Structure 1
Amino acid sequence: MEQRALRADAARNVEQLRAAAIAAFRGRGLDTPLDEVAKAAGVSKATIYNRFGGRQGLIDAVIGELVAVEMTGAMERAAKVADPWERVAAYVTDCRDLHYREPVAGDVVMMRFPDSPELMRLCVAATDAGEEFMRQAHAAGVVRPDFTVGDLYHAFIEGCLALRHWPKPPREDYDRRTRFLLDGMRAR
């Protein structure tokens, strides 16, 4: 009977930690101090290590809810667009929108936590999708031949770094810069 109570407490702690981690990471990124997560969950930091093995396990437990659904949605929406230019433009726009709204998406793009298998799976899926969309756009001649998929990811990373380390620009300025990026990518 005592073991059941402990299991219920442990299950409650896990759910409290998951909820606290999602709340703490959302809008701030995956490097939010674990002390803050534990405090918000009403448990000790040691409980994170006992239940999740540390930051990596905690990230793996919440990354899906934080950004995987939205990132996967961006890939799926773009894949459904018939026109190769519109496909790339939709993907870039959706990704940049997510980067602006959710710093965790930037953590994924920048592979900030490479020991997290779930984060890395998401990063690889996004990279593969972007590479395929760019390959199709190049084949159709709608993207500048000298604009590479590497250029696209550097633009994403640079944007994510700027969002993380500089004051966040007004949304209209950010969207204008997305249009500049797209204009620079497009074949003339």
Structure 2
Amino acid sequence: MTHTDKTTRPRRARRTDAAQNAERLLTAAKDLFDEHGPDAPLDEVAQRAGVGNATLYRHYPTRGDLLVAVYSDEVTALCDQGRALLAEPSTAEALFTWLDGFVVHIATKRTLALAANEHSGTPRTELFERWHDSMRSIAERLLARAQRAGTVRADLSVADVLALTSGAALTSTSTRHAQQLLQILRNGFVTTKASAPPDAPSVR
């Protein structure tokens, strides 16, 4: 056996173990947060996953990191949807279809979103920043496309749109209520051109 064989095999095994531990931690955290909310003890997450606390903090240094990782698949799916909507002919409908998914996501994960951002007054973590940047990038592209087409007010910034939409989600009494609030916001976002039929030609 060569020196390379001796060193790479244990290294590969460690990487496999680390990936399995991370997956077990996410599964345990999701179950625990569903049962007890985002303030559930992190020690219990490690215990359910069958790993030590040191392993938990090595993978997820803060509660915010763990919370964001728990629902990262949903964020990825929402961003994928946004990229697909960039090909839709109706620019306003594309933007508001995505915002509807966004408002539902925040409304159903409001406690997790707040905890990931504000828990213990700590700054946003690297994982949270990546999540935030991905969502903002998609929203910005959809908004800019609608503004170029003249279907959404030109004086709106992506920060305005996301702040108002997030506010609707976080103050709503239900997912349906959040969607209703978004429809009210829509009336203030769109121009008269946006009332054209969805299949009307638009400038990209």
Work out whether the TM-score is over 0.5: yes
Match of 1:41? 49
Match of 2:179? 175
Gaps of 5+ in 1: 164-168
Aligned-pair Cα RMSD in Å: 3.6
Contact 1:18 1:58 in 2 (8 A): yes
1:41, CA displacement in angstroms?
2.6
Q: 1: distance between equivalents of 2:53 and 2:142?
A: 42
Contact 1:143 1:185 in 2 (8 A): yes
SS in 1 for 2:105: helix
The one-letter code of the counterpart of 1:154 is: A
1:152, CA displacement in angstroms?
0.5
Identity %: 24
Match of 1:166? none
Any residues of structure 2 matched to 1:78-157 within 5 Å, and which? Answer: 78-103=85-110, 106=113, 114-116=124-126, 118-157=127-166
Q: 2: distance between equivalents of 1:109 and 1:53?
A: 12
| Larger CA Rg, structure 1 vs 2 | 2
Q: 2: distance between equivalents of 1:100 and 1:158?
A: 10
The one-letter code of the counterpart of 1:70 is: A
1:57, CA displacement in angstroms?
5.7
Is residue 76 from structure 1 mapped to residue 94 from structure 2 by the alignment? no
Superposed CA offset, 1:90-124 (max 9, x none): 111111122222337735995876223x3322321
1:127, CA displacement in angstroms?
0.7
1:40, CA displacement in angstroms?
3.1
1:20, CA displacement in angstroms?
0.6
Distance 1:128 1:33, change over 3 A: same
Report the TM-score when normalising by structure 2.
0.66
Gaps of 5+ in 2: 1-9, 193-204
Report the TM-score when normalising by structure 1.
0.71
Is residue 64 from structure 1 mapped to residue 72 from structure 2 by the alignment? yes
1:47, CA displacement in angstroms?
3.6
Match of 2:24? 16
1:148, CA displacement in angstroms?
2.7
- Per mean C-alpha deviation after superposition, the further-off stretch among 127-136 and 71-80 is 71-80
SS in 2 for 1:76: helix
